Amino acid sequence: MRKIHTGVPTDYILVIGESARKDYFHSYGYPVENTPFLDNNFTVKVDGMKSGGTYTIGSLTNMLTVPDKGKWKPRYDRSIIDLARSAGIRTYWLSNQGMVGKFDTPVSAIGRKADKAIFLNKGDYSEKNISDFSLLKPFKQILDQKTDQFIEKVFELLKKEKSVTGRPFSIIYFSDHGLAHKTEKNKTTLTNNFASKFHYDIPLIKIDSDRNDRIELSSEKSGLNFTEGLGNWMNIQNPDLPKTSLFDGKNDLTDYGLKEKINLITTPKDPAIDLTGKLK
């Protein structure tokens, strides 16, 4: 997303990971060194972000809209794309997400509201008469890489662009939800078929081009307040937008029953399994 109406435009890049549990990231303490880039290149790292659900659609529809929080129902007329566009920010949506049947998922329907939306797996795009963001093509080419490498490539591309245009950027990375361990016949796999107490624990990392400091925050953040947090990240001024920050280091005033929901999960705790020495 690019903010173009005040001063130097800033590029805001929101990277959504698929099914990534925080406790499997070295940058969050996992012993296998699987996040060499994120380990050393974050500006703010938040420990305590909870997803808005335990599966892609259930979570992202709550996280990428300002939902009806009492009913835990997404509101598609108040999506992150609507919010950004209302502030005059040009929006681009790039996805390699699969499709359910031949229909759009509610998540791709949110993406389709962007000024330009590209769905690589469907070979499909839609646009609202705007010029291309120069980085769309290089972003497309790296979309299949693994999380840490992908973010590194995005960072390098944006840095190169900044050296030419002077345009600052800010990247946020989070994942849609975690997974649960399932053990059958002595074999453990990660699954999404039931919920674990750690299912909602997701990474939340911000990288700003104009800062070199490293801040680690521990604060409880609810996925139901996420879109408001993103709006404030992009400095969107809107009387209806509460001043909720994802990066203030404070617990959300209310999580709308999320913690209670997690407490009701009865499956045994399933912390990350240390695979040191078992990975080739």
Binding region for Zn ion (CB under 5 A): 18-19, 56, 176
| 124-127, strands of its sheet edge to edge | 92-95, 116-119, 124-127
User: Looking at beta carbons only, is 10 or 62 nearer to Zn ion?
Assistant: 62
**CA–CA distance, 135 with 119 (Å, rounded to integer):** 16
Other residues' Cβ atoms within 10 Å of the Cβ of residue 245: 16
- φ, ψ of residue 32 in degrees (nearest 5): -75, 130
Identify the burial level of 11 via C-beta atoms within 10 angstroms of its C-beta, where 0-12 means exposed, 13-18 middle and 19 or more buried.
Answer: buried
> Least Å distance between CB 59 and Zn ion?
7
> Least Å distance between CB 147 and Zn ion?
13
User: Looking at beta carbons only, is 18 or 210 nearer to Zn ion?
Assistant: 18
> Least Å distance between CB 55 and Zn ion?
6
User: Looking at beta carbons only, is 93 or 133 nearer to Zn ion?
Assistant: 93
User: Looking at beta carbons only, is 18 or 156 nearer to Zn ion?
Assistant: 18
Q: Are 243 and 232 a contacting pair, CB within 8 Å?
A: yes
Other residues' Cβ atoms within 10 Å of the Cβ of residue 27: 21
User: Looking at beta carbons only, is 99 or 136 nearer to Zn ion?
Assistant: 99
> Least Å distance between CB 54 and Zn ion?
9
Report which of 193, 213, 237, 174 is spatially closest to residue 22, judged by C-alpha positions: 174
User: Looking at beta carbons only, is 2 or 177 nearer to Zn ion?
Assistant: 177
User: Looking at beta carbons only, is 20 or 44 nearer to Zn ion?
Assistant: 20
> Least Å distance between CB 1 and Zn ion?
21
> Least Å distance between CB 64 and Zn ion?
12
- φ, ψ of residue 275 in degrees (nearest 5): -100, 20
> Least Å distance between CB 227 and Zn ion?
17
- φ, ψ of residue 233 in degrees (nearest 5): -55, -40
